[in-house]
Structures are given as C-alpha cells and as structure tokens.
Structure 1
Amino acid sequence: MRIVFAGTPEFSVPCLAACRASGAEVVAVYTQPDRPAGRGRKLTPSPVKQAALDAGLAVEQPESLKDAATRERLAAYAPDLMVVVAYGLILPRKVLALPRLGCWNVHASLLPRWRGAAPIQRAILAGDAESGVDLMQMEAGLDTGPVLLERRTPIRAEETGGSLHDRLSQLGAEVLAEGLQHVLAGDALVPVPQPDTGVTYAHKLDKAEARLDFGRTAIALERQVRAFDPWPVAEATIAGETVRVWAGRGLDVAHHATPGSVLAAGRDGIDIACAEGVLRVTALQRAGGKRIGAADYLNARPDLRTAR
C-alpha cells in the first residue's frame, strides 16, 4: 500500500512514524512551507519535514493544493491512501478523491465535539472530563466525516495544553497504526457517521484570549492557565505588574474583596480575588525574565509579602 502523509507540527510526527512502521510504503510527505522562527527569524523546517528528511522520504511543500499542477504532482505518487494529521491546508474535493482508499484524518477530539483547529485547548477550557482521538474518513466538510476508530482518555485535574497534546499525539499514532493494520490485513473498517447533536467548534487560539479577567470565576481562570500552557501562556496584572502566569490553582474561598486584588502572598503562592473564589498563582514570568516560582517572584516583590 502506497501512502502519502500530510502533516506539519510536532503532534503529527508519531503518526508519520506509525505509517512507516506499518509495512506500507510512505511515498511522499506533504508539509507546510518553511516559516521564520526564533529571534533571527530564520526559515525553519516543520517538525514533520525534519522527520521526513531524517528518514530519507520525499518532501513536498506547496502553498496550496488548489492548482492543477500541484494535484497532478500528487497524483503522480499514485497513493492508495492519504493520511492527514494537523497539516494546516484545506484538501479540495479533487484531492480527497485521488487516493484509492480516500483520505484519513487523525483528529484530537471525540467528534463531533470540538471540530476545528484547537480541540485540545478548547476541551480544557470547557472543563471536559475526557478527550481522545478519532480516526476519520475525510470528506469536504470541516471534520464532518465518519469515524473509523476512536480512543478515549480522561482529562486529568492538573492537565495542561502541553501534557494533553503529548498524550493525544501518542494515542493518535496508536489508533492510526490499528487502522493501517486492519487495511493491510484486508479487513474493512466500518465508518460510523457522526451524530447530528453535540457539535461544537474549536476555533483557532488568539493571543488576546490569554488575558486573565479576574471578574470571572477562579476555576475558569485555572482552566485558562492550564489550557494556554505552553502557548500562548496566560497573562495578568498582579499588583500593578503585568506578568505571564504559568501555573495556578482555583480555590473555593469566600471573600468580599475586589476582583484582581491580592489577598495573600507567601511561599505557597499569590492569592488573587476572583468574582467567585481565589486564584492561587504558583509559577509566573516577569517581562524579559524566565519562568519562576511564586517564592522567587516575591523575593523581588517584598511589598506583596505583607498583603492580606
């Protein structure tokens, strides 16, 4: 079986490895064009491109899949199956119809909940109890295709966007490997249409969402802090200084203070009043600095130690 793989970020790399380990032939890897990165804004290959080059695979980086020449080049690889994992480009109908077995997508949510670009972070923000990965047969709609296989996992109380990302990346590789094993053995996978109810959309993250509003509940802010670790990282003003908030815990503590005011500050953290409850900030970052614990921050802000 000839596979064309399409993916871009680190999330996709284990799935590329699963394709290579399956016994199928990965004839080409499609990934986004190199982008500027780092302080020098040097053009940098995507993690998938780097993994493909290390494996000696052919790499294609079109800006779009809409033009006829790009589709002809893809067709020349004669793929039986195209596997798409966080590629970042829309696949036109003509591309979806090219492979004999169509196109598969590994999506990091339990469809139809959280279709779209940021399902991992949206699940944490919403307080979902579980997440997972779906192996989906792609069609023209946005993440609307029937589900072939699914793996579920609980969202832990301390889960961050980064930790859930890493777990779902591995689960995605496992469910893809299972699907490929079935097809290579000649077993048909049964596509299960997504239900019409329970549809939600995981819109792309915006850095403006990182700002903490203490007029919200403490538990909502805790979820925001966890979901936005490692990007875009929550931001707040604490006693007049704007900082990035890397870790915090929502406490069910009654108070009559103005939201945003510091109630207490010590080695355990900095307690900030919310509309309901208290957010205890335990790790933060000053402008131009690095991530530090609350105790180290208070060494530089002794004025907060007396706050009550």
Structure 2
Amino acid sequence: MPNKLKVVFAGTPDFAAQHLAALIDATNIDVVAVYTQPDRPAGRGKKLQASPVKQLALQHALPVEQPESFKQADAQATLANYRADVMVVVAYGLLLPQVVLDTPRLGCVNVHGSLLPRWRGAAPIQRALWAGDHETGVAVMQMEAGLDTGPVLLEARLPILPTDTSETLYSKLAELGPKALCDALHDLERLQQTAVVQDDAQATYAKKLSKEEAQLDWQQPAVALERWVRAFNPWPICWLACDNGEIVKVWRTDVVAGANAAPGTILQADKHGVVVQTTDRALRLLELQPAGKKPMPAADFLNGRSDWFTPGTTLPQVKS
C-alpha cells in the first residue's frame, strides 16, 4: 500500500500491548486511536489501574477511548470519526456489534491464540495444552458477529513442547502474534480475497478456566493429569485436598510407574516427591504450595508436613 494503513487498535492485557507495540513500530501503519477496557480496581488498595494497552498508548501520546460498551450511538460515532481503514482487536474483552464491525473501510481483524476453528473462545492456550495438542499458533481472522467464527486471513504455527506450561506458550505466542499481524496488515486487501472460511464442524470451544476444575481428579490417566498441571500454570494452579482438610497447590509433576492400588492412593512420600496412583500409572508431585506459603520442592514441603501425605492412605476424590 502506498499510504500508511490507518488503524484503530482495541485490546486490554499485556498480550494485546505487545501487538500494539509492533503496530506502533511498523513503518506502514498509522495507529490513530486505541480502545481498551475502563480502568479497574487492582491491588490491596483497590485503586483504579490502567490496562497495559492504555499505559503503552499514553506513553506514545495516542488517543485512548474506554467505552463501557459499543451499544450507544455516541460510542459508535466516536469510532467512525477516526475514519480508520481497519480496526485490530486483540484480547479486548468487549463484544463488537455488527455496526462496529462494518465501520472501518476494511472491517475488523482479530488475532486469536489458536489454530482456528480449534479452540474458539476465552482460554485457547490452556485448552490446547490440556487436551494434548501437538501444536498451536495464532490465527489472524476477519471478524464476524459470531465468536471467533470469521474467515482466517493468515496463521502461524508453533509446536507444543512436553515442557510447556500455559505461561511459556503465552510468551511464545506473544512473540509470534505481532509478526503475523503485521504481515497480514501489510497485504490485507489481497488476503481478504483469499481468506479461508472456517469449517464449523471442526470447531472446539475453549471456555474460561475456573478454580473448581483445577482440582486434580485421580480417576484420570497420569499423562492427562501432568498436562492438567502445566495447563493451569500460572493460573489458577491445580490443587488437591488432603485427608486433614488442607488444600495444596501443585505446580510441577511428572509421570512414573504405578502400582496395584486404587486411584488417589499415596504410594511414596520422600525427598524424591509425593507419588500418587492414578487410573493407570502414577503422578509424582515435585513442587507444592501450602496455603499462605510460596511454592517449594516436595522434599521441603514434607519437612514438618509428612503426615499430610502418608503412604497407603487415599486422597479425597473430586466431589461431583
């Protein structure tokens, strides 16, 4: 394109801010405005805190808009007045009505952290890891009214390693996504003509994570539990209940040989870790966190707490 592409950017967390930074640095893009969620209370003092996207925008003296929604005519008119070529949306957190999707000359483009149509929704990174997917990536998509249903303009792929947690995958995708976005915007009008329509029959949904589903279920295979721990790291962190009623968070595990014992049975608890039987093999707990303490190696945890994991006893099962 001979002229700079006029972009309105909409996003909120650090993942989005890394994409905004790439657009600010791009020579062929002019960011004319930034949209982000209203400031929210945070920290012990519950003081209002600007999002990472807002903080970055203010550093670069970019206009910032923070509407509660786009349902009001004045919010829609404000967007239209920026006369953007395209609106880029990355982890914004607000639903965009059709009138907004139609406002920019080239519509709205979204960066999603999965290989669509797999893992549409709020937690694609964690769900891909938990499910045992061998790869993930980012999809740059032309937005439609449905949830992550628009045609894919460009995608970039990334292998999921056996050591990956959702935190490490998040970091990798935060590097992959901005480049893919800039590549897509550089050739946007051509890519819109060749965009790949998603196959809804292949779609899966990545719902938000909850603390309740982070409780380890010993009726699952060991490899699934090991992935579970990595997928929920660093939030909400997997946990288990001990016989004494204490809740223990589980940060790191591996899979070892099991025994002829009921799922949830503690097979071993020593300096090498706490070994718990599952439906097939066993899960060894390597890094644990009691309430009010920091994460620590299992050996340190057992100092003074050896009665929490007595070999031969069975941990409580997940309540249905």
TM-score by length of 2: 0.91
In 2, distance between residues paired with 1:211 and 1:37?
26
Structure 1 window deviating more from structure 2 (74-83 vs 256-265): it is 256-265
Over residues 34-53 of structure 1, what are the superposed CA-to-partner deviations in whole Å (9 max), with x where a residue is unaligned? 12222222222111111112
What letter is aligned with 2:202? Answer: G
The DSSP-based 3-state class of the residue aligned with 1:197 is helix
Q: Post-superposition shift, 1:59?
A: 1.1
What letter is aligned with 1:98? Answer: T
In 2, distance between residues paired with 1:307 and 1:188?
60
In structure 2, the partner of 1:211 is 215
In structure 2, the partner of 1:221 is 225
Q: Find the partner of 1:137 among 139, 142, 145.
A: 142
In 2, distance between residues paired with 1:68 and 1:100?
19
The DSSP-based 3-state class of the residue aligned with 2:21 is helix
CA contact (8 A) 2:86 2:108 kept: yes
CA contact (8 A) 2:124 2:206 kept: yes
Q: Find the partner of 2:119 among 101, 114, 120.
A: 114
TM-score by length of 1: 0.94
The unaligned stretches of length 5 or more in structure 2 are 313-320
- Alignment of structure 1 residues 1-308 onto 2, 5 Å: 1-23=5-27, 24-183=29-188, 188-189=191-192, 190-238=194-242, 240=244, 241-251=246-256, 253-303=257-307, 307=311
Q: Post-superposition shift, 1:290?
A: 0.8
In 1, distance between residues paired with 2:93 and 2:197?
24
Q: Post-superposition shift, 1:188?
A: 4.8
CA contact (8 A) 2:36 2:51 kept: yes
In 2, distance between residues paired with 1:188 and 1:246?
42
What letter is aligned with 1:201? Answer: Y
Q: Aligned in 2, Cα 1:200/1:55: closer, same or farther, shift over 3 Å?
A: same
Over residues 188-232 of structure 1, what are the superposed CA-to-partner deviations in whole Å (9 max), with x where a residue is unaligned? 552111123311111111221111111222112111111111111
The unaligned stretches of length 5 or more in structure 1 are none
Q: Aligned in 2, Cα 1:68/1:283: closer, same or farther, shift over 3 Å?
A: same
Q: Post-superposition shift, 1:289?
A: 0.6
Percent identity over the alignment? 53
What is the number of equivalent residue pairs in this alignment? 305
Over residues 78-115 of structure 1, what are the superposed CA-to-partner deviations in whole Å (9 max), with x where a residue is unaligned? 11110000111111000000000111000000011011
CA contact (8 A) 2:242 2:308 kept: no
In 1, distance between residues paired with 2:275 and 2:241?
13
Aligned residues: CA RMSD: 1.7
CA contact (8 A) 1:22 1:180 kept: no
In 1, distance between residues paired with 2:311 and 2:278?
16
In 1, distance between residues paired with 2:176 and 2:63?
26
